[in-house]
């Protein structure tokens, strides 16, 4: 192990250290930059303005330079599979679809390893997180350590953090991930009352947030599975629920008191079974603080 091997940095989060080890195993040398971008769930939107939360699941990218003009890609979830393309092709947008626009930031040849903690369409914005992680690794800012989190759990209204401490309130967000593979649909146009949402968050009025989520759901056309999940969650005690757009998936989210989590899970599962569908994955979480982005370069000296 070299002095600059990120895998040996005890200050790294376990998932980053694991990706560092995987990078060294895949490419035979240490990564020089590694970082993580969390997935995000959009709770409400008004045109381009979005109220979103960071999730515990996201994408990790690790990269190192290459002595040629080739970008070589590997994924932790698909060991042994690699893809190669030139920098010119990458910047022209000719990379594999799962990289999105991330490769457009490439400036030179590189060896790149990506790890996605949940599949695209699961409801946590995996594709957007993957794009951002790749771009961060390959772009000019990749080697800098980066952290922009506020100190307390929050939702982001655009770039503005608003308090959203669900743990303190005995609440959770859940993602109902039916993992229905279909054509990707664009996020629908939405016009939720963002000023009302901001006031509710500022006063910890989670009942109002729940009502706004439900209103947003019924204002938009959704998929049958999403409607069924939302209805089942609401009947079982969720304060609010809605369909969310996430690539080819048909997920939904709900705001649920901790005391009703088991009831909501059971009700949603029962609806899918009655409809002859595969039971969905149901993930519960509390929003993280801010973005939870963290970036490390092998040449940094002031690592925690």
Average pLDDT over residues 39-47: 93
Query: Model's pTM, two decimal places?
Result: 0.86
User: pLDDT, tens digit, for every residue of 258-303?
Assistant: 999 999 999 999 999 999 999 999 999 998 765 556 677 765 433 3
Q: What are the extents of the domains in the chain? A: 6-148+291-297, 165-285
Q: Give me the pLDDT at residue 3, please.
A: 42
SS3 string, the chain, reads CCCCCHHHCCCCCHHHHHHHHHHHHHHCCCCCEEEEEEEEEEEEEECCEEEEEEEEEEEEEEEEECCCCEEEEEECCCCCCEEEEEHHHHHCCCCCHHHCCHHHHCCCCEEEEEEECCCCCCCCCHHHHHHHHHHHHHCCCCCCCCCCCCCCCEEEECCEEEECCCCCCCEEEEEEECCCCCCCCCCCCCECCHHHHHHHHHCCCHHHHHHHHHHHHHCCCCCHHHHHHHHHHHHCCCCEEEECCCCCCCCEEEEEEHHHHHHHHHHHHHHHHHCCCCCCEEEEECCCCCCCCEEEECCCCCCC
- Tell which wins on pLDDT, 291 or 196: 196
pLDDT of 35 = 87
pLDDT of residue 152: 72
Q: Architecture of domain 165-285 in CATH?
A: 2-Layer Sandwich (3.30)
Domain at 6-148+291-297: CATH code: 3.30.230.10
């Amino acid at each position: 192990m070299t002095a600059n091997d990120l895998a040996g940095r005890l200050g790294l989060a376990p998932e980053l250290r694991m990706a560092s080890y995987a990078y060294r195993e895949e490419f035979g040398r240490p990564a020089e930059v590694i970082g993580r971008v969390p997935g995000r769930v959009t709770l409400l939107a008004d045109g381009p303005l979005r109220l979103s939360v960071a999730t515990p699941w996201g994408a990790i990218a690790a990269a190192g330079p290459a002595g040629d003009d080739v970008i070589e890609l590997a994924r932790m979830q698909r060991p042994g599979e690699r893809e190669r393309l030139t920098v010119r092709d990458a910047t022209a947008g000719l990379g594999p679809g799962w990289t999105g626009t991330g490769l457009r930031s490439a400036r030179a040849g590189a060896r790149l390893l990506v790890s996605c903690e949940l599949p695209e369409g699961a409801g946590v914005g995996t594709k957007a997180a993957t794009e951002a992680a790749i771009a961060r690794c390959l772009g000019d800012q990749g080697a800098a350590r980066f952290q922009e989190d506020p100190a307390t759990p929050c939702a982001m209204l655009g770039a503005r953090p608003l308090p959203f401490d669900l743990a303190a309130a005995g609440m959770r967000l859940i993602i109902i991930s039916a993992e229905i593979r279909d054509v990707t649909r664009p996020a629908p146009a939405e016009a939720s009352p963002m000023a009302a949402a901001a006031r509710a968050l500022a006063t910890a009025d989670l009942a109002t947030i729940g009502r706004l989520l439900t209103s947003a759901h019924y204002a938009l056309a959704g998929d049958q599975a999403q409607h069924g999940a939302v209805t089942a969650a609401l009947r079982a005690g969720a304060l609010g629920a809605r369909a969310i757009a996430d690539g080819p998936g048909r997920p939904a989210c709900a705001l649920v008191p901790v005391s009703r989590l088991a009831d909501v899970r059971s009700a949603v599962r029962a609806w899918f079974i009655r409809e002859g569908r595969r039971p969905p994955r149901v993930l519960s979480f509390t929003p993280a603080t801010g973005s939870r982005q963290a970036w490390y370069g092998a040449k940094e000296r002031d690592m925690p």
